[in-house]
């Protein structure tokens, strides 16, 4: 495995780390790993580093970089809005890898905000052959709503905290943070629009790996929730979905992280190991 720092973009204001395998897999796509919100390119608890180096061991080149204004990448000139700027940054990263290593196809991967940015980039650039979206877009179904509220009703600790608050026994500092979750502000995509965009990727033949956790910011409660939310889309044709009900949003525990890495290995090999032959 070889790694090197790359500055890129029209203003050379973006910085990333290119990880190259010692024995490249012929025809393999390059994998681009995006920031999770405002976190540095190493990812939460070095998740992106773990993924990149594991991919290199399997023959896949990868590039983990900081979006403009995040980590070691500086904001460029102009007043481009975040959503458009992030999309441009991903396209710039693909242009750079095409120039540096001759990559013509890409898998774009991200967690949370990174999943949204990966999906947006796939919509505007046909070079994206696959996406790995971790705790990305999610839409409720009757079953997911029922299971979500059933879990809350049966949560004894939640009822204890509620009673304590009603009796004035909860310290103000505890009550101020109880249940709060600060997430990176992002675009709210109407269900109808997302359905059309998702269908366009499926029809284009893009491959999707959709991963959800049970302890993240989404109300995702069972593996086929997205299938039920969009029954008119043949998701089984293009997507593999994994649901880890016990895993936290950033796969902190080693067992959960190893399961995630094994699922990524299996998916990318199944979809792209024979890329050169086809």
Q: Which two tokens stand for residue 152?
A: 């809350």
What is the average pLDDT across 4-13? 95
What is the average pLDDT across 218-239? 95
Give whichever of 47-56, 73-82, 187-196 has the largest mean pLDDT.
Answer: 47-56
For tokens 């990149």, the residue is 52
Give tens-digit pLDDT for 246-264.
999 999 999 999 999 999 9
pLDDT score of 181: 31
Question: Would you say 40 and 34 are in contact if contact means Cβ atoms under 8 Å apart?
Answer: no
Give tens-digit pLDDT for 16-63.
999 999 999 999 999 999 999 999 999 999 999 999 999 999 999 999
pLDDT score of 175: 38
- Read off the pTM: 0.86
Structural domains in the chain plus CATH codes: 2-142+191-272 (3.40.50.1820)
How far is the C-alpha of 269 from the C-alpha of 255, rounded, in Å?
21
How far is the C-alpha of 220 from the C-alpha of 110, rounded, in Å?
17
Q: Is the pLDDT of residue 122 over 50?
A: yes
Q: In what order do the strands lie in the sheet with 128-134?
A: 2-8, 14-20, 62-65, 30-33, 106-111, 128-134, 207-215, 239-248
Lowest-confidence pick of 35-39, 103-107, 270-274: 270-274
Give tens-digit pLDDT for 146-174.
886 776 666 666 556 656 677 776 554 44
Q: How many CB atoms lie within 10 A of CB 226?
A: 24
Burial 174-201 (b: 16+ CB within 10 A, else e): eeeeeeeeeeeeeeeeeeeebbebbbeb
Q: What percent of the chain has pLDDT over 70?
A: 85
In sequence order, the 6+-apart residues with CB closer than 8 A to the CB of 235 are 202, 208, 226, 227, 241
**Length of the chain as a residue count:** 278
**DSSP states of 162-178 as a string?**
HHHHHTT-S-HHHHHHT
pLDDT score of 159: 57
Question: Would you say 184 and 113 are in contact if contact means Cβ atoms under 8 Å apart?
Answer: yes
């Amino acid at each position: 495995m070889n790694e090197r720092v790359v500055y890129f973009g029209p203003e050379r204001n973006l910085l990333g780390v290119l990880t190259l395998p010692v024995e490249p897999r012929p025809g393999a796509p390059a994998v681009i790993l995006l920031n999770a919100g405002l976190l540095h390119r190493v990812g939460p608890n070095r998740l992106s580093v773990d993924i990149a180096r594991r991919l290199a061991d399997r023959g896949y080149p990868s590039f983990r970089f900081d979006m403009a204004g995040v980590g070691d990448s500086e904001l460029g000139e102009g007043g481009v809005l975040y959503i458009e700027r992030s999309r441009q940054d991903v396209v710039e990263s693909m242009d750079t890898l095409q120039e540096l290593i001759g990559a013509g196809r890409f898998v774009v991967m991200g967690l949370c905000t990174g999943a949204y940015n990966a999906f947006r980039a796939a919509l505007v650039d046909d070079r994206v052959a696959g996406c790995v979206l971790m705790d990305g877009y999610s839409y409720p179904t009757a079953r997911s709503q029922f299971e979500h509220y059933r879990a809350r009703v049966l949560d004894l600790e939640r009822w204890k905290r509620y009673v304590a608050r009603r009796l004035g026994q909860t310290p103000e500092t505890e009550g101020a943070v109880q249940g709060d979750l600060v997430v990176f502000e992002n675009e709210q995509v109407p269900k109808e629009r997302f359905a059309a965009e998702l269908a366009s990727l499926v029809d284009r033949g893009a491959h999707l790996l959709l991963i959800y956790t049970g302890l993240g910011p989404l109300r995702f409660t069972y593996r086929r929730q997205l299938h039920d939310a969009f029954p008119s889309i043949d998701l089984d044709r293009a997507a593999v979905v994994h649901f880890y009900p016990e895993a936290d949003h950033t796969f902190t525990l080693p067992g959960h992280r190893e399961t995630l890495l094994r699922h990524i290995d299996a998916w990318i090999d199944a979809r792209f190991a024979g890329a050169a032959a086809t």
